[in-house]
């Protein structure tokens, strides 16, 4: 018999979801059969799997050691690297992701921010190897590989759920900084539709709705114009679609500098030769949480910001942008 006591990081999820993680090699049909036969109990009682787990709940598995070993499988460990943690509490943390790092795996063999987060939490003692049988930290927003800036992550099931809710409800304000081609002097609120070609991983901006397209809204405000005529923008993302800022700004004639998918090849080459820019100068800069946020009390009314990368700062200095009204 194996007894599992639910920790705070595991609470808030359904029992069957918890069991699916712990017995990750077991078919769902086996788990439900064991629940029906009371070979798995919750707080000494029969359960059907739909129960929401609370801290200190007791799950008992009346299995042999051989069966447990067979269905638990091996626990994958995290990866180690230095992370720029800009905020952390018991439930959540925010990382300033560098350009070049994946937010989540695209292929099985990839190493992403999630694996690095797991390694960090193991190293700091926020997680144990045994915890990884039933919980893995996860990110709540995905940045393109070559976009830098804030990625929000949950250290507990509840932290993940509540952060994800904030993003889904759009109750927070999301701001980016980007350098774009050409001069912009006026703020704007632009709308349109995006259609994504999944095979090419590229989106097309449409002025009218078409089958499979999604509505987008973007606000931007010019902060400064460089002495070469290019503009630093503060962008507020009102909808969060794949490649939204990059494609939307390109559609206005002001593509992001360093964007080799939607940008201006001639301008990109100039910045590459002069400053070594090899990725888009787009940075997820700030998240503002509403004062009314109650479920994540530590974040109520809080602003979380990520410092601008060194290369981005060097480019701004090079075009004589030193002071910005942020």
pLDDT (mean) for 133-150: 93
Of all residues in the chain, the percent with pLDDT exceeding 70 is 99
pLDDT of residue 109: 85
Q: Which residues of 28-55 are buried (b: 16+ CB within 10 A; e: fewer)?
A: eeebeebbeeebbbbeeeebebebebee
In whole angstroms, give the CA distance from residue 2 to residue 8: 19
User: What single string gives the DSSP state of each residue in 110-160?
Assistant: ---HHHHHHHHHHHHTSS-TTGGGT---EESS---TT-EEEEEEESSHHHH
pLDDT of residue 323: 65
The answer for residues whose C-beta is within 8 angstroms of residue 198's C-beta and 6 or more apart is none
* Residue labelled with tokens 């801290």: 55
Dig out the tokens for 28 from the structure.
Answer: 């769902």
With a cut of 80, say whether residue 46 has pLDDT above it: yes
Across the chain, mean pLDDT equals 93
CATH 3.10.290.10 domain extents, the chain:
2-72
CATH 3.30.2350.10 domain extents, the chain:
85-169, 173-318
- CA angle 251/257/263 to nearest 5° reads 40
In whole angstroms, give the CA distance from residue 133 to residue 19: 10
Dig out the tokens for 314 from the structure.
Answer: 């060097």
In whole angstroms, give the CA distance from residue 113 to residue 45: 39
Give CB contacts under 8 A, 24+ apart, made by 60-68: 60/1, 60/2, 60/3, 60/4, 61/1, 61/2, 61/3, 61/4, 61/34, 62/1, 62/38, 63/1, 63/2, 63/34, 63/39, 68/2
In whole angstroms, give the CA distance from residue 49 to residue 27: 14
In whole angstroms, give the CA distance from residue 27 to residue 20: 8
The CATH code for residues 173-318 is: 3.30.2350.10
pLDDT (mean) for 64-70: 90
The CATH code for residues 85-169 is: 3.30.2350.10
Q: Specify the 3-state DSSP secondary structure of 221.
A: strand
pLDDT (mean) for 4-29: 94
In whole angstroms, give the CA distance from residue 67 to residue 40: 13
Fold exhibited by the domain 2-72: 3.10.290
With a cut of 70, say whether residue 11 has pLDDT above it: yes
pLDDT of residue 326: 63
* Coarse DSSP helix, strand, coil percentages of the chain, rounded to the nearest 5 percent: 25, 25, 45
Residue 294 pLDDT grade (very low, low, confident, very high; cuts 50, 70, 90): confident
CA 319 to chain centre: 31
With a cut of 90, say whether residue 74 has pLDDT above it: no
Neighbours of 93 (CB within 10 A): 24
- CA angle 291/221/164 to nearest 5° reads 40
With a cut of 90, say whether residue 240 has pLDDT above it: no
pLDDT (mean) for 267-293: 96
Q: Specify the 3-state DSSP secondary structure of 232.
A: strand
């Amino acid at each position: 018999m194996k007894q599992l006591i639910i920790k705070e990081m595991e609470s808030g999820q359904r029992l069957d979801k918890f069991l699916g993680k712990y017995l990750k090699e077991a078919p769902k049909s086996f788990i439900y059969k064991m629940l029906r036969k009371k070979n798995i109990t919750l707080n000494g009682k029969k359960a059907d799997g739909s129960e929401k787990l609370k801290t200190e709940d007791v799950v008992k598995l009346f299995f042999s050691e051989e069966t447990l070993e067979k269905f638990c499988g091996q626990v994958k460990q995290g990866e180690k690297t230095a992370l720029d943690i800009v905020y952390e509490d018991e439930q959540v943390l925010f990382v300033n992701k560098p350009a070049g790092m994946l937010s989540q795996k695209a292929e099985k063999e990839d190493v992403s921010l999630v694996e690095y987060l797991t390694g960090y939490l193991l190293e700091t003692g926020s997680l144990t190897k045994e915890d990884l049988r039933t919980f893995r930290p996860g990110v709540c927003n995905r940045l393109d590989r070559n976009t830098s800036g804030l990625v929000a992550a949950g250290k507990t099931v509840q932290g993940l759920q509540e952060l994800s809710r904030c993003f889904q409800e759009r109750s927070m304000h999301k701001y980016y900084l980007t350098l774009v081609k050409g001069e912009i002097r006026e703020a704007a609120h632009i709308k349109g539709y995006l259609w994504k070609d999944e095979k090419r991983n590229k989106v097309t901006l449409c002025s009218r709705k078409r089958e499979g397209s999604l509505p987008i809204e973007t606000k931007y405000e010019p902060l400064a114009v460089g002495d070469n005529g290019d503009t630093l923008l503060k962008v507020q993302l009102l909808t969060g679609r794949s490649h939204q800022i990059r494609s939307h700004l390109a559609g206005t004639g002001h593509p992001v500098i360093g964007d080799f998918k939607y940008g201006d090849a001639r301008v990109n080459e100039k910045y590459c030769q002069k400053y070594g820019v090899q990725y888009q100068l787009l940075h997820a800069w700030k998240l503002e949480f509403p004062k009314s946020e109650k479920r994540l009390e530590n974040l109520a009314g809080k602003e979380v910001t990520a410092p601008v990368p060194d290369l981005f700062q060097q480019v701004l200095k090079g075009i004589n942008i030193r002071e910005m009204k942020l």
